Amino acid sequence: MEKIIQVGMADLKFAKAPDKLITAGLGSCIGICIYDKVLKSGCLAHIMLPSSQQAKSTQNKAKFADTAIELILHEMESQGASRLHLLAKIAGGAQMFKFSGKSDIMKIGERNAVAVIENLQKNRIRILARDTGGNYGRTIIFDPGTGDLLVRTIGHGERVI
Protein backbone atom coordinates (compact mmCIF):
# COMPACT_ATOMS: atom_id res chain seq x y z
CA MET A 1 0.00 0.00 0.00
CA GLU A 2 1.63 3.26 -1.05
CA LYS A 3 1.54 6.22 1.26
CA ILE A 4 1.86 9.91 0.55
CA ILE A 5 3.89 11.46 3.31
CA GLN A 6 3.21 15.11 4.17
CA VAL A 7 6.15 17.41 4.71
CA GLY A 8 5.29 20.66 6.50
CA MET A 9 7.00 24.03 6.51
CA ALA A 10 10.53 23.77 7.94
CA ASP A 11 10.20 19.99 7.98
CA LEU A 12 12.06 17.01 6.50
CA LYS A 13 10.93 13.45 5.79
CA PHE A 14 12.34 10.24 4.33
CA ALA A 15 10.44 7.86 2.04
CA LYS A 16 11.08 4.61 0.20
CA ALA A 17 9.24 3.61 -2.99
CA PRO A 18 6.35 3.12 -3.53
CA ASP A 19 5.72 5.86 -0.96
CA LYS A 20 5.78 9.47 -2.09
CA LEU A 21 6.53 12.77 -0.44
CA ILE A 22 4.40 15.89 -0.76
CA THR A 23 4.83 19.46 0.39
CA ALA A 24 2.16 22.06 -0.31
CA GLY A 25 2.23 25.79 -0.86
CA LEU A 26 5.88 26.58 -1.48
CA GLY A 27 6.27 30.30 -2.03
CA SER A 28 9.67 31.71 -1.20
CA CYS A 29 10.44 28.41 0.51
CA ILE A 30 12.20 25.65 -1.40
CA GLY A 31 11.49 21.95 -1.58
CA ILE A 32 14.76 20.02 -1.80
CA CYS A 33 14.47 16.42 -2.99
CA ILE A 34 17.53 14.22 -2.72
CA TYR A 35 17.27 10.58 -3.72
CA ASP A 36 19.22 7.42 -4.39
CA LYS A 37 18.18 5.85 -7.69
CA VAL A 38 19.48 2.43 -6.74
CA LEU A 39 17.81 2.28 -3.34
CA LYS A 40 14.67 4.00 -4.69
CA SER A 41 14.45 6.14 -1.60
CA GLY A 42 14.81 9.82 -0.88
CA CYS A 43 14.23 12.79 1.37
CA LEU A 44 12.22 15.95 0.93
CA ALA A 45 13.01 19.05 2.96
CA HIS A 46 10.93 22.24 2.98
CA ILE A 47 13.37 25.01 3.86
CA MET A 48 12.48 28.63 4.66
CA LEU A 49 15.79 30.46 4.95
CA PRO A 50 19.15 30.42 3.15
CA SER A 51 21.53 30.11 6.07
CA SER A 52 21.71 29.13 9.72
CA GLN A 53 24.85 31.22 10.19
CA GLN A 54 23.26 34.43 11.47
CA ALA A 55 20.17 32.88 12.93
CA LYS A 56 19.43 32.93 16.63
CA SER A 57 17.16 29.94 16.58
CA THR A 58 18.80 26.96 14.91
CA GLN A 59 17.29 23.98 16.72
CA ASN A 60 15.20 23.08 13.73
CA LYS A 61 17.77 22.13 11.10
CA ALA A 62 15.15 21.61 8.41
CA LYS A 63 14.48 25.36 8.38
CA PHE A 64 17.73 26.38 6.67
CA ALA A 65 19.24 25.43 3.32
CA ASP A 66 22.69 24.62 4.69
CA THR A 67 21.70 22.54 7.71
CA ALA A 68 18.78 20.83 5.94
CA ILE A 69 21.07 19.52 3.18
CA GLU A 70 23.53 18.21 5.79
CA LEU A 71 20.68 16.55 7.60
CA ILE A 72 19.38 14.93 4.39
CA LEU A 73 22.82 13.57 3.52
CA HIS A 74 23.18 12.20 7.01
CA GLU A 75 19.74 10.61 6.86
CA MET A 76 20.32 9.12 3.39
CA GLU A 77 23.66 7.66 4.42
CA SER A 78 22.20 6.16 7.55
CA GLN A 79 19.58 4.52 5.30
CA GLY A 80 22.40 2.91 3.37
CA ALA A 81 22.64 5.33 0.44
CA SER A 82 25.97 6.09 -1.16
CA ARG A 83 26.76 9.75 -1.67
CA LEU A 84 27.93 8.99 -5.21
CA HIS A 85 24.43 7.87 -6.20
CA LEU A 86 22.60 10.87 -4.81
CA LEU A 87 20.75 13.20 -7.13
CA ALA A 88 18.80 16.36 -6.37
CA LYS A 89 15.76 18.16 -7.70
CA ILE A 90 14.53 21.47 -6.32
CA ALA A 91 11.46 23.67 -6.65
CA GLY A 92 10.16 26.90 -5.12
CA GLY A 93 11.94 30.15 -4.35
CA ALA A 94 9.31 32.46 -5.79
CA GLN A 95 8.84 36.10 -4.97
CA MET A 96 5.22 36.39 -4.00
CA PHE A 97 4.91 40.08 -3.21
CA LYS A 98 6.39 42.97 -5.10
CA PHE A 99 7.16 46.21 -3.34
CA SER A 100 8.80 48.99 -5.25
CA GLY A 101 12.34 49.46 -4.00
CA LYS A 102 11.83 47.05 -1.14
CA SER A 103 14.55 45.46 0.92
CA ASP A 104 16.11 42.03 0.89
CA ILE A 105 13.45 40.45 3.00
CA MET A 106 11.08 40.09 0.10
CA LYS A 107 13.80 38.67 -2.13
CA ILE A 108 14.12 35.75 0.22
CA GLY A 109 13.04 33.28 -2.50
CA GLU A 110 15.92 34.20 -4.76
CA ARG A 111 18.38 34.03 -1.88
CA ASN A 112 17.02 30.64 -0.88
CA ALA A 113 17.53 29.28 -4.40
CA VAL A 114 21.12 30.52 -4.55
CA ALA A 115 21.91 29.03 -1.15
CA VAL A 116 20.38 25.64 -1.98
CA ILE A 117 22.35 25.37 -5.23
CA GLU A 118 25.58 26.44 -3.52
CA ASN A 119 25.19 23.94 -0.73
CA LEU A 120 24.35 21.11 -3.11
CA GLN A 121 27.41 21.91 -5.21
CA LYS A 122 29.58 22.11 -2.13
CA ASN A 123 28.49 18.59 -1.23
CA ARG A 124 28.92 17.41 -4.83
CA ILE A 125 25.28 16.48 -5.27
CA ARG A 126 24.21 16.74 -8.90
CA ILE A 127 21.12 18.87 -9.52
CA LEU A 128 19.12 17.03 -12.16
CA ALA A 129 16.28 19.51 -12.41
CA ARG A 130 15.03 22.73 -10.88
CA ASP A 131 11.90 24.80 -11.12
CA THR A 132 12.58 27.97 -9.15
CA GLY A 133 11.68 31.66 -9.24
CA GLY A 134 8.60 33.33 -10.65
CA ASN A 135 5.86 34.90 -8.57
CA TYR A 136 3.61 31.95 -7.91
CA GLY A 137 3.26 29.15 -5.39
CA ARG A 138 4.02 25.49 -5.95
CA THR A 139 2.86 22.21 -4.49
CA ILE A 140 5.28 19.39 -5.17
CA ILE A 141 4.97 15.62 -5.07
CA PHE A 142 8.13 13.59 -5.21
CA ASP A 143 8.37 9.94 -6.19
CA PRO A 144 11.67 8.52 -4.94
CA GLY A 145 11.09 5.37 -7.03
CA THR A 146 11.27 7.13 -10.41
CA GLY A 147 12.79 10.43 -9.30
CA ASP A 148 9.83 12.26 -10.84
CA LEU A 149 8.98 15.57 -9.25
CA LEU A 150 5.47 16.77 -10.00
CA VAL A 151 5.04 20.53 -9.70
CA ARG A 152 1.50 21.89 -9.37
CA THR A 153 0.61 25.56 -9.53
CA ILE A 154 -2.47 27.73 -9.67
CA GLY A 155 -2.67 29.29 -13.11
CA HIS A 156 0.89 28.42 -14.16
CA GLY A 157 0.37 24.84 -15.26
CA GLU A 158 1.46 21.49 -13.99
CA ARG A 159 4.68 19.73 -14.94
CA VAL A 160 6.96 16.85 -14.10
CA ILE A 161 10.62 17.68 -13.81
Partner 1 sequence: MIHDFSDLSGIQLDALKEIGNIGSGNAATALAQLVQAKIEMSVPIVTILPFVSVTNLLGGADKHVMGIYLAVDGSATASILFILPVDQACLLVDMLLGKKLGETSIDKFGDMESSAMMELGNILSATYLNAMSVFTNLTFIPSVPALGIDMAGAIIDAILAQFGEIADHVLVMETKFKKDDYDVVGHFFLLPEPESLNRILSALGVSC
29 is catalytic: yes
Would you call 48 helix, strand, or coil by DSSP? Answer: coil
The nearer residue to partner 1, 95 or 123, going by C-beta atoms, is 95
Would you call 76 helix, strand, or coil by DSSP? Answer: helix
Q: Catalog residues that contact partner 1 under the rule CB under 8 A.
A: 8-11, 23-29, 48-49, 54-57, 59-60, 63, 94-99, 105-106, 108-109, 136-139, 152, 154
Alpha helices in the chain (DSSP H): 65-78, 108-122
CB of 154 to partner 1, least distance (A): 6
Give me the catalytic one of 15, 26, 29, 32: 29
Name the maximum alpha-carbon separation found in the chain. 51
The nearer residue to partner 1, 65 or 76, going by C-beta atoms, is 65
CB of 35 to partner 1, least distance (A): 23
CB of 83 to partner 1, least distance (A): 28
The nearer residue to partner 1, 84 or 154, going by C-beta atoms, is 154
Strand partners, 29: none
Backbone angles phi, psi at 152, to 5 degrees: -110, 140
The nearer residue to partner 1, 88 or 108, going by C-beta atoms, is 108
CB of 76 to partner 1, least distance (A): 23
Number of neighbouring beta carbons within 10 Å of residue 1: 4
Tell me the catalytic residues: 29
